[in-house]
Structure 1
Amino acid sequence: MGSALHTEFAGQRRALFWLALRTALLTVLTLGIYRFWMKTRLRRYYWSSVRPGGVPLEYAGEPLEKLLGFLVAVVVMAFYLGVVNLVLMFASFSLLNSAMAAYAISFAGVLPVIFYASYRARRYILARTRWRGLRFGMVPGAWGYAWRCIAHWMVTLLSLGLLLPRQTFWLEKYRADRTRYGSAALEQGGSWRKMYGAAMLHVLIGVFASLLFLIVGLNGGEPGALWGLCLSLPWLLLGLIAYRVETFRYLTNHKRLGGVGFEAAPRLGRVAWITLRGWLGIGLVVGGLATLGAVAITFAVHPGGFDVELMEEMGIEPGEAEPETAEAPDAPEPQALPDWVVFAALIPLYFAVFTLYGVLRHIFLTLPLARHYAETLTLTNPDALEAITQRARDPFAEAEGFADALDVGAAF
């Protein structure tokens, strides 16, 4: 089998573009019902493109189980959000004569459910993933993960981000130590103290500089604070990208699956370039479409164009008026479209913008990032894979319904 298994990635932009576009259009035409089939088909494409040692991953999830799990989760969440929030609102108005306390408590009450749903979604995805015929899996522990997330986030916020590596390490260790591949258990090694590096330093500089400029700008109204934020916020974003790359590399290189090891070598420059270029491309294409649609609708509402009165209403200073030209006495006045026609035109524009946004995210971001991370991943000591046997199938009745209902924790 050799001393190492290198990972290949077989996905292509053109094939993914047409798959994402077709499934997105079908999702719109079915009022969202086809979304579960779309997610299944996209995952199967991505999974089959990732090929450690030339053997592709397999995704065995079914769209119907996703739909049924989503319906169950919606019923549960509707009861929770309806009954619990109604009680909180009543108590807040009765005791404090304000709704702010109810909103704060309601948000705090939803956080554990979000973390719970994230863990359950990951467990479902692993339970439906196979490689070399063997199933992945995950030990139950969603509520334990939820309260750990809350505790770690509180510590991180109180430390103003200084203990972010501690949170990243222990939450990933909780998930990794409960992950299984066949009969083998994954184990996360390493130490969170060794995750402090140049990336974390840039994150802290970006955080503290942004807070400083924000406080100065709000209190003193200093114009220089705005320019300071224009520098500190991009610095923070680039620091976060570097932090994700470095922590992924460190955590992956310290994972063990029985006797199998992992070597990840993602390049920060490549990831940053893909991210920046991808968001710029998405912004230009989607923004251009939205602008063209808005201009077309504006001229439909005002067929005469931007006249002086309209420009003054919009706060635009009109230039010199053009010399009046003689018009035919019987020239018809341009008629504005009825309001219902304009409203009907906004609906396809809205769906076109968000459909195109979703498709372009796959093409410009998800696919190239998945390719880079996959092609820089190597499995060491692959002979140990021969000792791993099959595990029982996890039925997982509600699939990732809570993650779908809350729109969290779902990959691809």
Structure 2
Amino acid sequence: MFRLVFGTGLLTVLTLGLYRFWQKTRVRRWLWSAVRPGGYPLEYVGDPYEKLLGFLIAVVILAFYIGIVNLLLMFASYAVFQGNFAAYLLSLVGVFPIWFYARYRARRYVLARTRWLGLRFGLAPGAWGYAFRALGHGFLTLITLGLLWPRMTFHLEKYRTDRTFFGETRMAQEGRWTMLFPALKWHFATLGLAIIGSVGLAVSPGNGWMLMVIAGITAVYSTVYYRVETLKRLTATKRIGPLRLTLDAKPGKVFRIQAGGYTLAALAAAFPTLMLLGLFLELQSLETLVELGLEDMPPLFAGLNRWLLIALSVMCYFAIFLLWSALTAAWVKLPLMRHYATGLSIAGTEHMVTFRQRPRDEHMEAEGFADALDVGASL
């Protein structure tokens, strides 16, 4: 996994980003083939040329939006408010529906290019409906200070699931949003610790800070716990015709995978980061070093040509991102997929003989908007 991501990432850098579409395709094919529900691997049949074409289409549309719409907003802002703040604010708000739209479209493309036992998955159109529902639920979650977060999670997942197909069989999300409410328990625990810690800072600063540190750790864990626990509960109430799903995932293990993987990746990426910092300082003038108070710093790369220093700086810069992406893929994404895949159970597979193939979804835009906005809708 590391060699695949690092090698394709290097090719992406050398081709000035063009190879990214081939990189994503190769990585998905590798990962999909490693997931074997019932002993049968998933297949990813996406085409990098589709991704490239979709990206170009999305760039043209987004360029129109950014250019024309923002120009109109700027004109209206100056005409009404005699300033550009309103234009910037409305432009930022206008990105949110496009962001959700892009995520839904990317999910639709990935499902349309995923097969299991020869049957295609699919997702019905509905990206704008998803985007505006996400905005509405997000607003309700915001004004209730997060209390309706489970409601948003459930209804958005239900919207996606009820439009998902395996072959010609439609999936269904059952249950109620209140079943997700217990997943917030660690958030309430974090809130309690933070309140006690805040009071403790005034009474006993040492103990207060200790409680605040613990609250910070539990805040991170509460986010992981919520995602895993809601995923388990939502999976248990999904059905694909006669098929029933269950997921045995452990929040503690997911937290350890993420904490350990990201920590090790950060430590590994620290070496080129420190080298880049040293090269950056080496390239500065004496006046700049004096301003920074580093005029007595011993030369780290004495005798090297300035252009060589610049070349080494560029190499270190890209090495940071290449190492980070490759190591997190090997130490975080792959172990997480393995954990979820091994914990997934499917009941009722004896009825799958009645399932029929669905027609191919051409999906001309592919996941171009997700690539253009880099929303990370999927691997």
- TM-score normalized with structure 1 length: 0.83
2:243 and 2:56 mapped to 1: Cα distance? 40
Aligned to 1:22: 7
Identity between Structure 1 and Structure 2 (%): 45
1:344 and 2:329 matched: no
For 1:334-359, what per-residue CA distance to the aligned partner results, in whole angstroms no more than 9, with x for missing partners? 97756554333321111111111111
Task: Give the SS at the match of 2:249.
Answer: coil
2:195 and 2:107 mapped to 1: Cα distance? 34
Aligned to 1:272: 255
Shift of 1:314: 3.8
Aligned to 1:362: 329
Between 1:309-318 and 1:112-121, the stretch displaced more is 309-318
1:377 and 1:179 mapped to 2: Cα distance? 18
1:211 and 1:129 mapped to 2: Cα distance? 47
Aligned to 1:203: 187
Aligned partners of 2:103 and 2:377 also within 8 Å: yes
Change (3 A) 1:44 1:100: same
Shift of 1:364: 1.1
How do residues 114-125 of structure 1 correspond to structure 2 at under 5 angstroms? 114-125=99-110
How do residues 254-293 of structure 1 correspond to structure 2 at under 5 angstroms? 254-293=237-276
Task: Give the SS at the match of 1:196.
Answer: helix
Between 1:24-33 and 1:285-294, the stretch displaced more is 285-294
1:380 and 1:272 mapped to 2: Cα distance? 28
Aligned to 1:327: none
Task: Give the SS at the match of 1:135.
Answer: strand
1:91 and 1:336 mapped to 2: Cα distance? 57
2:109 and 2:237 mapped to 1: Cα distance? 24
Aligned to 2:171: 186
Letter in 2 for 1:201: K
Shift of 1:124: 0.5
Shift of 1:86: 1.5
2:38 to 53, 61, 67: 53
Letter in 2 for 1:372: H
Shift of 1:227: 6.5
Superposed CA RMSD in Å reads 2.9
Change (3 A) 1:258 1:32: same
Letter in 1 for 2:104: Y
Shift of 1:94: 3.1
2:277 to 276, 288, 294: 294
Aligned partners of 1:177 and 1:185 also within 8 Å: yes
1:239 and 2:222 matched: yes
- TM-score normalized with structure 2 length: 0.90
1:113 and 1:213 mapped to 2: Cα distance? 40
1:392 to 346, 359, 370: 359
For 1:81-124, what per-residue CA distance to the aligned partner results, in whole angstroms no more than 9, with x for missing partners? 11111221222233323322111100111111111111010000
Shift of 1:201: 2.0
2:63 and 2:195 mapped to 1: Cα distance? 37
Between 1:355-364 and 1:204-213, the stretch displaced more is 204-213
Letter in 2 for 1:79: F
Aligned partners of 1:115 and 1:145 also within 8 Å: yes
Aligned to 2:16: 31
User: Which of the two has greater helix per residue?
Assistant: 2
Between 1:224-233 and 1:346-355, the stretch displaced more is 224-233
Change (3 A) 1:312 1:398: closer
Letter in 1 for 2:176: S
**Runs of 4+ deviating beyond 3 Å:** 204-214, 222-231, 296-302, 309-318, 334-344
Between 1:137-146 and 1:402-411, the stretch displaced more is 402-411
1:395 and 1:209 mapped to 2: Cα distance? 52
1:404 to 371, 375, 378: 371
Shift of 1:233: 2.8
Letter in 2 for 1:21: F
